[in-house]
Amino acid sequence: MGVIKRQGSKHSSVRVASVMLGAFSSLFIYPLDLSTYGTLVFLLSFASFLHYPLTLGFGQTMVKFFHEFELGVKKSSFFFTQSLIQICILVITCSLFYFLQDSILNVLDKLQFNVQIFKENELLVIFLVILVSFRTLWQGYAQTIKRIVVPEFLYNMLYKIGLPLLICLSAFRILGIYEVKWLFVLLIAIINLSLLIYFISLGRISLRLDFRKYTSKRVNRMGDFALFGMFTALGGQLAFKIDNIMIAPLIGVEENGIYSIMVFMASTLLIPMVSVDLISNPIISKAMAINNRQEVDKIYKKGSNIFGAIGILLFFLIWIHLPVYFNLSAETKAIEVGRSVFLLLGFSKLFDCFTSVNSAIIKFSKYFRFNLFTTLTLGGLNIWLNYELIPIFGIKGVAMATAISLASFNLVKLFFVWKVLGYQPFRKDTIGLVVLFLFCMVLNHFFSKLVDDFFLRLIINYLLLFFTLLLPIYLFNLAPDLKEMMNQVLNKTGLRKKN
């Protein structure tokens, strides 16, 4: 757990810094041109969706099979060999996709999508698919060698700096939307190139091909895992990330921009989970392979506790500052509809935090096919809910559909891991966290109705945050890992004497 803590902590620090940049941009930059921002988010979301079928799920094999190919090897030929194989796959699948695009667009047109947005950006999307595909593959390599901090820094910081600059170029009419879109592709390409240079600089990559360990039996296993991973990932995209793809052609790119800002805010709750998940995946994979149940159970329970504790603190912190955000935002009237969107998405993300690393446990068990069944089923449910709710509630309907899908998905996985694999993530202190959070939210609702003064209400909310969340969590040791981190901060600032 020590490696997970160290790398997870550093990774979280990088993501916090990127979140601060993203928060500034969401407040002052993106609202300047919600249409352009919504368009760029749509392009990247669509490319991220397409890269799974167009790579046949190949990128996910890096984490699963790395230890079989490179055990005890100082320089990895697996990285270069896998990258070359992915190039061959993309050449074939992208060519097939190009020839089938008219038939696909006809289907989308019958489903009442605005197909013009797809036609205008078909070449851009293909380039983005290729770039996203290699980022997924190389991110898997970063996980296996337990070097996730620098890749995350390069991606998050370059993206969070580059995207606002592009929005400014569009907002101030320095460049048109066409030029901005191609510069966006260039930005993603620069990020990928930076990742490649970093991996080569580590001196652990051999620039030679080695197919000796690609035995027919192993290739069949890799293909089986990749294809099921592809369908599982597609189901995940349909269940939880189809919103950014559906809003632009069904409602509009400006609404997609508003929704994306709220998604960004809700996603900050998952910062610790995403950070730890990246580094814990290889460890869970190894523990499941050797049937080390104690290690898996420890990661599962500790994850639920620390993810949940930090998640509720971040949720309440964002929630009490949303009125400030709406007052300061460049497009207050356009953004304010996002309050209910954040509430729905935020609660679903919190539940995701408390259910911990259940996806990884299933993924690296012999029941990994179960993820395929649940994600495809819930993906279909999400699409149906979007079609039903969007005409009635607009982007609020999209948030409802996503929240229902994510909560259902985690409930099903939670029950499956408990009944079939014999693990459950909850401890008594974790349940205490939930009770505290609900109590704090009730008090927040009560005082928001009772107190009209904006600044007085904000002060009351700060007191609620401290006395009903932070202080009880610390004094009653409801989150031991969080308390340890808080003690380290107090020791460094001299507010607490070292034992």
The pLDDT of residue 450: 87
**Which residues make beta-bridge pairs with 205?**
76
Q: How far apart are CA 314 and CA 268, in angstroms?
A: 8
Amino acid at 403: A
- Higher local confidence (pLDDT), 84 or 282: 84
Q: Residue 438: pLDDT above 90? A: yes
Q: Residue 42: pLDDT above 80? A: yes
pLDDT band, very low/low/confident/very high, at 244 (cuts 50, 70, 90)? confident
The pLDDT of residue 467: 92
Three-state SS string over the chain comes to CHHHHHHHHHHHHHHHHHHHHHHHHHHHHHHHHHHHHHHHHHHHHHHHHHHHHHCCCHHHHHHHHHHHHHCCCCCECHHHHHHHHHHHHHHHHHHHHHHHHHHHHHHHHHCCCCCHHHHCCHHHHHHHHHHHHHHHHHHHHHHHCCCCHHHHHHHHHHHHHHHHHHHHHHHCCCCCHHHHHHHHHHHHHHHHHHHHHHHHHCCCECCCCCCCCCCHHHHHHHHHHHHHHHHHHHHHHHHHHCHHHHHHHHCCHHHHHHHHHHHHHHHHHHHHHHHHHHHHHHHHHHHHHCCCHHHHHHHHHHHHHHHHHHHHHHHHHHHHHHHHHHHHCCCHHHHCCHHHHHHHHHHHHHHHHHCCCHHHHHHCCCCCHHHHHHHHHHHHHHHHHHHHHHHHHCHHHHHHHHHHHHHHHHHHHHHHHHHHHCCCCCCHHHHHHHHHHHHHHHHHHHHHHHCCCHHHHHHHHHHHHHHHHHHHHHHCCCCHHHHHHHHHHHHHHCCCCCC
The pLDDT of residue 334: 59
Q: How far apart are CA 311 and CA 277, in angstroms?
A: 15
The pLDDT of residue 359: 85
Name the residue among 172, 314, 342 with its Cα closest to residue 180.
172
What per-residue string of b and e applies to 11-23 under the rule 16 or more CB within 10 Å gives b?
Answer: bbebbeebbebbb
% of the chain at pLDDT higher than 90 = 27
Of 112-116, 349-353, 493-497, the range with the lowest mean pLDDT is 493-497
pLDDT band, very low/low/confident/very high, at 346 (cuts 50, 70, 90)? very high
- Per-residue pLDDT, averaged over 265-292, amounts to 80
Q: Could you report the per-residue pLDDT of 132-154, keeping only the tens digit for each?
A: 998 888 887 777 777 767 787 78
Phi-psi region of 477 (alpha: psi -120 to 50; beta: other; left: phi over 0): left
Residue 449, classified by CB atoms within 10 Å of its CB into exposed (0-12), middle (13-18) or buried (19+), is exposed
- Higher local confidence (pLDDT), 281 or 399: 399
pLDDT band, very low/low/confident/very high, at 165 (cuts 50, 70, 90)? very high
- Top-ranked range on mean pLDDT: pick from 64-68, 120-124, 365-369: 120-124
Of 137-141, 254-258, 434-438, the range with the lowest mean pLDDT is 137-141
Name the residue among 250, 238, 247, 259 with its Cα closest to residue 383.
238
Half-sphere exposure for 365 (CA within 13 Å, toward CB): 20
34-54 and 149-171 are packed helices; what angle lies between their axes, rounded to 10 degrees? 140
- Per-residue pLDDT, averaged over 8-27, amounts to 70
Q: How far apart are CA 178 and CA 355, in angstroms?
A: 42
Q: How far apart are CA 403 and CA 259, in angstroms?
A: 13
The pLDDT of residue 227: 84
- Do residues 269 and 235 make contact, with C-beta atoms less than 8 angstroms apart? no
The pLDDT of residue 497: 63
In degrees, to the nearest 5, what angle opens at C-alpha 73 toward C-alphas 67 and 79?
65
Q: What is the CA radius of gyration of the chain?
A: 23
